[in-house]
Amino acid sequence: MDHKFSIAPMLDWTDRHCRYFHRMLSQHAVLYTEMITTGALIYGQGDYLAFNEEEHPVVVQLGGSDPEAMAKSALMCQQRGYDAININVGCPSDRVQNGMFGACLMAQPKLVAECVQAMRSVVDIPVTVKTRIGIDDQDSYQFLVDFVGTIADAGCQDFILHARKAWLSGLSPKENREIPPLDYPRVYQLKQDFPALQIALNGGVKTLADCLTHLQHVDGVMVGREAYTNPLLLAQVDAAIYGDGRQVPTPHQVVRDMLPYIEQQMTQGARFWHIARHMLGIFQGVTGARQWRRHLSEVGHLGTSGPEVMLAALAKVPE
């Protein structure tokens, strides 16, 4: 699995409908699930691990800190066919801290290492870690080196670093994505100091030019909100980053290619809006984008809506 470009796990956003849509735009981007907690997997009633075969390569992100529960959940993920498992050590929300996972785990590298070891003892697929560059006042470079070194000694070879520290109190998750300053050189330095590890960078990456700049220093780039709000960015990824010369799909083509999927999912009980909402940004920056968004938003959430609503919205965007 080539992790040069991936789309970040985003709660309430990167569900399986969103991932299917993103796969229509890029054949090579690595896709991530929303974070799933070990509690939901082990005790929950829903099928939290469902995904479409077309999504590969796809990584499941787990939230948890009990090595036994993490191992049990990892095995479930491998049995369902995921390509890798990622541990969330980056999310700073209160809910996540109360569940004892996310960024607060940076303060407990030995516990994270135990989770990695327990998971690796039961699965063959890669176990990776997504983390920050520090938390609160524990934000020295040495702190980061010690943290990564401890986890790497447990057998983890792949790290994704959000190039900001997290404040565990006083800032909302949204503010934690914007207020602590980005420090890309720190992530670059980490790659120099751990050349054998796969190091990917996340945070504030908005353009393919940004991606190509970072890829001169690290092994991979993870894009978050920009991939969601401006999905057309993904249509350029295969050519620009992977050197794949296949024809770049047009946004009109992608929308039409989604229609059979929408019809099929609706026969299985999915609501039209649950799929269409992920597609609002497909015409970002294109003439007619506002009319497309308005029609989909106003009509799409009605219980009777279906593919005909998407076709009507599409007709408002000149080809």
Sorted by where each starts, the structural domains of the chain and their CATH numbers stand as 5-242 (3.20.20.70), 251-314 (1.20.120.1460)
The pTM (predicted TM-score) of the whole model is: 0.96
Q: Determine contact, residues 199/187, Cβ cutoff 8 Å.
A: yes
> Rounded distance, CA 112 to CA 151, Å?
7
Residue 89, CA atoms < 13 Å, CB-side half-sphere: 32
At residue 97, the pLDDT reads 58
Q: What is the 3-state secondary structure (H, E, C) of the chain?
A: CCCCEEECCCCCCCCHHHHHHHHHHCCCCEEEEEEEEHHHHHHCCCCCCCCCHHHCCEEEEEECCCHHHHHHHHHHHHHHCCCEEEEEECCCCHHHHHCCCCHHHHHCHHHHHHHHHHHHCCCCCCEEEEEECCECCECCHHHHHHHHHHHHHCCCCEEEEECCCECCCCCCHHHHCCCCCCCHHHHHHHHHHCCCCEEEEECCCCCHHHHHHHCCCCCEEEECHHHHHCHHHHHHHHHHHHCCCCCCCCHHHHHHHHHHHHHHHHHCCCCHHHHHHHHCCCCCCCCCHHHHHHHHHHHHCCCCCCHHHHHHHHCCCCC
Residues in the chain predicted with pLDDT less than 70, given as ranges, are: 94-99
End-to-end CA distance of the chain: 35
> Rounded distance, CA 157 to CA 126, Å?
8
Q: What count of other Cβ atoms lies within 10 Å of the Cβ of residue 179?
A: 12
Handedness of CA 214, 6, 157, 152 (dihedral sign): positive
C-alpha R_g of the chain: 20
What residues pair up with 166 in beta bridges, in sequence order? 135
> Rounded distance, CA 235 to CA 274, Å?
22
Q: Which two tokens stand for residue 287?
A: 């003439």
91 is catalytic: yes
At residue 7, the pLDDT reads 98
At residue 203, the pLDDT reads 97
At residue 96, the pLDDT reads 60
Give me the catalytic one of 77, 91, 156, 211: 91
What residues pair up with 159 in beta bridges, in sequence order? 129, 199
Q: What count of other Cβ atoms lies within 10 Å of the Cβ of residue 217?
A: 16
At residue 95, the pLDDT reads 62
Residue 182, CA atoms < 13 Å, CB-side half-sphere: 10
Residue 102, CA atoms < 13 Å, CB-side half-sphere: 21
At residue 209, the pLDDT reads 97
At residue 261, the pLDDT reads 98
